[in-house]
Amino acid sequence: MKKHKDVILAVGALREAPVRPLNQNVIGRFTNRPYKRTPDLLTFLISPLGDLILIPLRTLYAWRRMEWCRVWTYAHDMGARTLPFVGIVMACVGVIMVVQSANQALRIIGDLSPLGPIFLELLVREMGPAIVALMVCARCGASLAAEAGMLVAGDQLDALRLCGSGATTYLFGPSLLGGLLVLPALVFFGTCIAYGVGGIAAHFMYDVGWGTYFDVSHMRIADPVICMVKASIFGLVIPVMAIRAGINARGGSAGVGHAATVGVIGSSVMVLACDFFVGTLAYLWVRP
């Protein structure tokens, strides 16, 4: 009887509960919220651009208080530990691109002599820096964001500020310098691997001569310069976006996991955006 009374009381409470208007309960989910969150969306899109400028400047200002031992730690993590991953993926990319390009060239023009020079220019100016940077985002972006998120969740970042250090000298500065040192070398290594493995595939699968494929006479000095400029910019963008996501983490361990996801996505999107803008400026500077 007691259970039945509890059920009756619960049903009566539900009947007496006030019903929200339709525009607040249902329609507001689809109409009101996007307009209310517009400033947050603009802040999410615009604020990283300011951080990409201010954080490197703060790093230069605080270079005397930099923890230089952590620079080599980040360089080793972003470089040596990422090297096998970059080598395997870029070798696969080289083989796939050469095979597909050779099939298309045979079907359209019937000549494979321009295969190597065209692939080299495409690889150096566009594909090499972008693909290697995206792999570094996937390999190191989550770890950088999770490290920063754990420091925030454990109040260790506040303790570092009390000790005279902080996010700039402990996280941003060493990771920025490590990425700036490592990314150009990784891009050079990945580009060479993709081009070399592609040449092996072209020679043994389509009987393309070594001299015909490895013809670098069509390369211009501006092409490797653009490649290294992109790699250097990506080395700054990836740590800033990843650590920024970790510092903004809230909600304990669940927030740290979300920050790791945001760090990977944000750094990847910013890498592609920077690749687009730098590539556009390079195209206007050096026309093909």
- Residue 20's SS3 state is coil
Q: Which amino acid is at 146?
A: A
CA–CA separation, 162 and 29 (whole Å)? 43
Radius of gyration of the chain measured on its C-alpha atoms: 26
* pLDDT attached to residue 61: 74
Give the per-residue SS3 of 145-169: HHHHHHHHHCCHHHHHHHCCCCHHH
Give tens-digit pLDDT for 143-179.
888 888 877 777 777 676 666 666 667 777 788 888 8
The pLDDT assigned to 234 comes to: 93
Distance of CA 91 to the CA centre of its chain: 20
Whole-structure pTM value: 0.77
Say if residues 77 and 143 touch (Cβ distance below 8 Å): yes
Please, which pLDDT band fits residue 21 given cuts at 50, 70 and 90? very low
The yes-or-no verdict on residue 196 having pLDDT over 90 is yes
| Res 55: pLDDT | 74
**What pLDDT, on a 0 to 100 scale, did the predictor assign at position 215?**
85
Q: For the chain, give the mean pLDDT.
A: 78
Q: What is the pLDDT of residues 66-114, one digit of tens each?
A: 777 788 888 888 888 889 999 999 999 999 999 998 988 888 888 888 8
Report the distance separating Cα 79 and Cα 106, nearest Å. Answer: 38
C-alpha 225: how far from chain center? 21
Confidence at residue 165, expressed as pLDDT on a 0 to 100 scale: 67
Return phi, psi of residue 111, to 5°: -135, 130
pLDDT value of residue 92: 94
Q: Whole-angstrom Cα distance, residue 221 to residue 89?
A: 27
pLDDT at 5: 45
Neighbouring residues of 190: CB distance < 8 A, sequence distance ≥ 6? 86, 87, 89, 90, 128, 131, 132, 135
